[in-house]
Structure 1
Amino acid sequence: MNTEVSINLQDTQWQFEYVDHDRNIARAIVYDESGQFYFVRAERDDDFGKATLIETAGGGVEDGEDLLTAIQRELKEELGVQVEVVCKIGVVSDYYNLIHRHNINNYFLCKVESFGKKNLTQDEIDCFHLSTLKLSYEEAIQEYEDRANTRLGKLVANRELPILHRAKEIIDISF
């Protein structure tokens, strides 16, 4: 039923110089029984510039951690949710040339089982002002398109919109 997506993207916003590290990342398209999707909104003002972004919840895989453990932990921290991991959607390889990083984004489709307390880091609170967005599929598409007005917003939208489209296909086929 589910063929994993594999996408390779280049950073079209900053000039490539070199890559000095890879980051293995676990990310999720999270949805509930009513068909609403959950994302993270970040308001940043850093080396990438000033931007308000929509992004899937997720983050770096810690040493010794497998992808499923990482996605469960990240979703609990950033959204305060316990989820059922439905399937792996695929992998998006992309680059942040500005910080010389190659990202290996492992995307999962996850269904909300319950809500609880978030456990954000101080940086996520103070520097990124993370908050939760609950959106319909159409609203999420529009939010990504609206937030692609910055250089970083373009990179995030290029990475995440194909994954969101694939997630919607999987959900529609399953029900």
Structure 2
Amino acid sequence: MEMYGENYEKLKIELQDTEWKCDYIDHDRNIARAIVYDDKEQFYFVRAERDDDFGKATLIETAGGGVEENEDLLSAIKRELKEELGVKVEVICKIGVVSDYYNLIHRHNINNYFLCRIKSFGDRNLTEDEINSFHLSTLKLSYEKAVKEYEYRANTRLGKLVANRELPILHQAKEIIDAYNL
């Protein structure tokens, strides 16, 4: 793994859930997520259409998910990107960690973010839940359109939590890409 972005201080962001009351937090979830881009500087995200305890919402999110037992972060991010976007990637660097909370489900999220460039495309391998409950699809957007989409989708309580978590990471990724002509 080439480590671009070493001159950048890795982001470490601590966020609170200001949308739902915190009764208690009873579990942590270690998550690997990525800002994914191609050689034309198009960025790839997942769109989720939810109608659950969090409410009805259409979201933009980075691809990624839970790190499995005995799995390292790099293996997890490569697996998640293959499953959700159908891509094989080069991991450029770690961008940072965002600690946030989903008070509604009593969970603390430890989001490990990476910057990844697409090497090849293939088939996605979504879970039944990702297909039927979240209706996951792929979004391919320019940086400017991605920022606008996050801002637009912050119109729901969950959308606001996701945008607060991911917009600083997206901005940092763009700075690294531009600084190193990636």
Q: Same fold (TM over 0.5)?
A: yes
TM-score, normalised to structure 2's length? 0.96
Residue 2 of structure 1 and its aligned partner are, at CA, apart by 2.9
Distance across 1 between alignment mates of 2:27 and 2:55:
21
Q: Which ranges of structure 2 fall in alignment gaps of 5 or more residues?
A: 1-6
RMSD between aligned residues = 0.4
Aligned: 1:18 with 2:38: no
User: Deviations for 1:129-154, whole angstroms, at most 9, x for unmatched residues?
Assistant: 00000000000000000000000000
1:151 aligns with 157
Aligned: 1:30 with 2:36: yes
1:107 aligns with 113
Distance across 1 between alignment mates of 2:158 and 2:52:
11
Counting matched residue pairs gives 175
User: Deviations for 1:22-47, whole angstroms, at most 9, x for unmatched residues?
Assistant: 00000000000000000000000000
**Please, which of 119, 122, 126 is the counterpart of residue 128 of structure 2?**
122
1:53 aligns with 59
Residue 157 of structure 1 and its aligned partner are, at CA, apart by 0.1
Aligned: 1:42 with 2:48: yes
Q: How does 1:90-101 map to 2 (within 5 A)?
A: 90-101=96-107
Local SS of the residue matching 1:44: strand
Q: Which amino acid in structure 2 is aligned with residue 107 of structure 1? A: Y
Percent identity reads: 79
TM-score, normalised to structure 1's length? 0.99
Local SS of the residue matching 1:123: helix
**Please, which of 140, 143, 147 is the counterpart of residue 137 of structure 1?**
143
Q: Which amino acid in structure 2 is aligned with residue 144 of structure 1? A: Y
Q: Which amino acid in structure 2 is aligned with residue 108 of structure 1? A: F
Local SS of the residue matching 1:15: coil
Distance across 2 between alignment mates of 1:30 and 1:151:
25
Distance across 2 between alignment mates of 1:55 and 1:12:
19
Local SS of the residue matching 1:111: strand
Local SS of the residue matching 1:163: helix
Q: Which ranges of structure 1 fall in alignment gaps of 5 or more residues?
A: none
Following TM superposition, the consecutive aligned residue runs of length 4 or more in structure 1 with deviations greater than 3 angstroms are none
Residue 3 of structure 1 and its aligned partner are, at CA, apart by 1.8
